[in-house]
Amino acid sequence: MPIVASSPSGWRPSVEDVAATIRSRTYQDGQVASDPLDDVVGGSEAGDFTEATSPTHDEVEKHITDACEDVAGHFPGGEVPEASFKSAKRAATLKAALAAELSKFRTSGGGERSPYLQLRIDADAAMKTLLTASQMRDLFA
């Protein structure tokens, strides 16, 4: 059964999925890590988005919603077929991570360490894979 873009419960990524893709943006200033080896000067990696990270948990939720709408917009009626849920989730996760990185990159003052370009390549490839597979299924349905 297809899922409508406004409620992609079968394939919507979680904030944790995005955090796993872009852990460097889960950095919290002034937090003490439980493992001294994980300490970063002035803060530590949280491993998830919180209210102390930039972007925050709520901001990443918004990026996920936007990414899901973008992915679903490529399908008739905004419905992703169930057979494409895994690929749709991957594409939406990467698009949300890309948006999170771009929101941070605009304020970071330098991009030589930013994973933006690789995220962009991965997100584009994930969308191409999703759409190609979906078209192939339509041809043989």
pLDDT in tens, 82-99: 999 999 999 999 999 999
Predicted confidence at residue 116, as pLDDT, reads 84
DSSP per-residue codes, 51-120:
TTBSS-HHHHHHHHHHHHHHHHTTSGGGEE-GGGHHHHHHHHHHHHHHHHHHHHHHHHS--TT--HHHHH
β-strands 27-29, 3-4 pairing? unpaired
Question: How many domains is the chain partitioned into structurally?
Answer: 1
pTM of the model: 0.78
Predicted confidence at residue 81, as pLDDT, reads 92
Which residues constitute the domain of residue 35? 3-139
Q: Residue 40's beta-bridge partner residues?
A: 43
pLDDT at 41 over 70: no
